[in-house]
Chain A
Amino acid sequence: MQCSICKEKPATVHLTQIVGDKMQKLDLCEDCAKTKGVNDPAGFALGADLMFGLGAAQEIEQAGGGVELKCSRCGFTQADFKKSGRLGCPECYKTFSEGLGGLLKTMHKGTRHTGKAPETMRSSTEDADRLKILQKKLEKAIESENFEEAAQLRDEIKQVTERSLAPKNLAR
C-alpha cells in the first residue's frame, strides 16, 4: 500500500478517525506521518486539511467520470484540487459542485448554509422564496419518512422565519 500523501513510499502508519458518526481512513509512510505530526504522543486530531483534503480530491475525480473538469472562470482543474485541497475561485464551487456534495457531507454538519448572510442577500422576497422551497422539501422529507432531514429543515425554517422578522443582529 502506498502512502496517501507522497504516493511514493510504502504506508506503514494506518489511521482511522471517527468524527461524529463518520469514519475516515488514512495510510501514511513514516516520513509523512512525522511531518504531519501524526506520531505526536499528545494524540492531536488530524488536521482537517489532512483528512479532508485527500478524500476531497478522490470524490471529485469520481464525479468527473474520468473527464477532467476545469473551471471556466479561472482555469482551475480537479488535478489542481487534488494537489492543494483548495479551490481556485468562488465559481469553482459551481464547476465542481457534483463531486463536492458528498465531500461536504463528510466534513460538515450539513450541506446547506444556515448562518449569517450579507444583508443584500437576505431581502424579504428572497426569504419568502426560500421558505416556500424549504416547506416543500420538508413535506417531501416527511412523506419519505426521512426524519433526520425533516428535523434539519424545520430548524432552518425556524431560522429563516426569525431572521426575516429581525433583519438585524441575526444569528446572535
Chain B
Amino acid sequence: MRDLHSFLSPPAETAQRHGPHDRIVMSSRVRLARNIKDAAFPGWAKKTERVKTLETIRPAVESLPEMKDSFSEAMDNLGALDRQMLVERHLISREHAAKSAGSGLVLNREETFSVMINEEDHLRMQALRPGLQIKQAWAAIDDFDSALEKKLDYAFDSELGYLTACPTNLGTGIRVSAMLHLPGLVLGEQINPIIQSVNKLGLAVRGLYGEGTEALGNVFQVSNQMTLGENEAMIVERLEKVLAQIIEHEENARQTLLEKKPKTVYNHIGRAYGILANAHSISSKETMNLLSLLRLGVDLGLFPGAERALVDELFLITQPAHLQKQFSDKLSAEDRDLMRADMVRERLKNVSRPLVKPRPPNTTN
C-alpha cells in the first residue's frame, strides 16, 4: 500500500500554487456526479454490491492517462488521520472521509484530479485548480468524464440527464465552486447582504469545509445549486459573473476600510500578528481566524518581505491532522495547541511587526 503522506505534495509546495486572482480566490473546483447503470446508489446498496461497483469503477478510473502514477486506495485501508488530511486539503468531502468498505479514492500526483468512488453517488470526480479557473476546471473534468464514459456504462436519461442519488444533483450532476477569502467584507460587515444576494441568484454560500460548516478564517465557498434545465457552460458562466462581482466587492471593501477606518484594520492585523508571533498555546480555530488577518496584512503591504505563501502554508500545516502528522507521538488536543503555537512562532520569527503606514497595496496578484 502506498503511503498517503509521502504521496501528497509538501504543504510548502502546495502553498506555491498560483492562479489568477488568488489574492481573493484561493481555489476553483468543478465536480461531476455520475452513476453506473443497473446498480443501487451507494447509500442504498448492500456492502457486497458497493464492493462490486468499486471493483468495476476503480480500474476504469486508474486507467485514464490523467491518473497515471495516482494514489488509489479503498477507504477502509486509510487511517483516520489520513482521511482527515485529505479533508483538510479539500481532496475529499467530510462525508467521504466517514465511509468504510466499498468506497475508494483515486487521486492524481498533482492533486488536480480527485475521484471519490461510492460517496453519495458511484462517482464524484473533481478537477481542482488554484485561483479563479473555473472554466479551465470544467474543461479538464469534461475531458476526464468523456474518457471515462467509454469505459463505464453511465445511468443517463435523455429527459433527466445523468441520474444521481439525490434529485438536487440530477441532470448535469455538476457543482462548480470557488473558495474565497473575504476578510474585507467580513470586517466591513457587508458579508451578510452579499451572502443573501448571492443566495437569491440560486447560488449557495458555505463555510470552509462545505455543507453545514462555519466560515473559519473568513473563507467562503460559493457554488451553484441547480443542476437541471441549464447546461454546464451556462452554469459556469453564471458563477463566473457572480464571482467577478464578489471579487470587486471585496477589493472595494478593503479600500473603503483603509480610507474610513484605517485604525480598525491596523488594530485587527497588529493584534493577530501579536498573538500568532507570541502565543504558547493556540487552537486551530483561533489560528485560522488570525492567519486570515495576517493574509490580509500581506495583501495590504503591511508585511514587506513576507509572502502570502507562508500564510497559506501555515493555514494548512496548523490544521489538526497535518499538525499531528508531523509528530510521531499521538498528541492530545492540549498538546496540539502547544505544538501549533511553537510552530507558528518559529515560522513568524523572521516576519517583522506590521508597518504602521502600509506601502501602496500590491494589486497585481
Chain A complexes with chain B: yes
Interface residues of B in 291-308 (CB under 8 A from A): none
Residues of A within 8 A of B195 (CB): 42-45
| CA–CA, A142 and B206, complex, Å | 41
Contact A103 B155 (CB under 8 A): no
| Chain A at the B interface: SS class | loop
Contact B37 A109 (CB under 8 A): no
Residues of A within 8 A of B139 (CB): 172
Contact of A88 among B40, B149, B159, B215 (CB under 8 A): B40
Contact B161 A117 (CB under 8 A): yes
Contact B149 A113 (CB under 8 A): no
Interface residues of A in 37-57 (CB under 8 A from B): 37, 40, 42-45, 47-49, 52-53, 56
Binds A, one of B62-70, B169-177, B261-269, B315-323: B169-177
Asked if A166 lies at the interface with its beta carbon under 8 angstroms from chain B, I say: no
Contact A87 B167 (CB under 8 A): yes
Asked if B35 lies at the interface with its beta carbon under 8 angstroms from chain A, I say: yes
| CA–CA, A56 and B170, complex, Å | 14
Asked if A161 lies at the interface with its beta carbon under 8 angstroms from chain B, I say: no
Asked if B1 lies at the interface with its beta carbon under 8 angstroms from chain A, I say: no
- How would residues 163 to 192 of chain B score, 1 for a CB under 8 Å from any chain A CB and 0 otherwise? 101111011101000000000000000011
Report if A49-B230 is in contact (Cβ < 8 Å); known contacts: A43-B192, A117-B158, A119-B149: no
Contact A115 B171 (CB under 8 A): yes
Contact B214 A107 (CB under 8 A): no
How many residues of chain B get a CB closer than 8 Å to chain A's CBs? 58
Contact B146 A119 (CB under 8 A): yes
Q: How far is the CB of B75 from chain A (nearest CB, A)?
A: 19
Chain B CB count within 10 A is highest, among A18, A104, A118, A121, for A118
Asked if A159 lies at the interface with its beta carbon under 8 angstroms from chain B, I say: yes
| CA–CA, A116 and B155, complex, Å | 13
Contact A45 B204 (CB under 8 A): yes
Chain B CB count within 10 A is highest, among A19, A86, A103, A110, for A86
Residues of A within 8 A of B192 (CB): 42-43
Residues of A within 8 A of B38 (CB): 90
Contact A48 B225 (CB under 8 A): yes
Contact of A90 among B163, B205, B207, B233 (CB under 8 A): B163
Contact B229 A112 (CB under 8 A): yes
Asked if B98 lies at the interface with its beta carbon under 8 angstroms from chain A, I say: no
Contact B211 A172 (CB under 8 A): no
Report if A74-B40 is in contact (Cβ < 8 Å); known contacts: A37-B212, A121-B158, A171-B233: yes
Asked if A16 lies at the interface with its beta carbon under 8 angstroms from chain B, I say: no
- How would residues 64 to 82 of chain A score, 1 for a CB under 8 Å from any chain B CB and 0 otherwise? 0000000000101000100
Report if A89-B158 is in contact (Cβ < 8 Å); known contacts: A116-B172, A116-B231, A172-B233: no
Residues of A within 8 A of B43 (CB): 84, 86
Contact B228 A172 (CB under 8 A): no
Asked if B199 lies at the interface with its beta carbon under 8 angstroms from chain A, I say: yes
With A45-B195, A90-B155 known, 9 other A-B pairs at CB within 8 A are A37-B214, A43-B192, A48-B204, A76-B44, A86-B165, A90-B38, A107-B168, A118-B156, A119-B150
Closest 7 pairs between A and B when the two form their complex, measured CB to CB: A110-B229, A113-B161, A90-B155, A109-B229, A108-B228, A115-B231, A88-B44
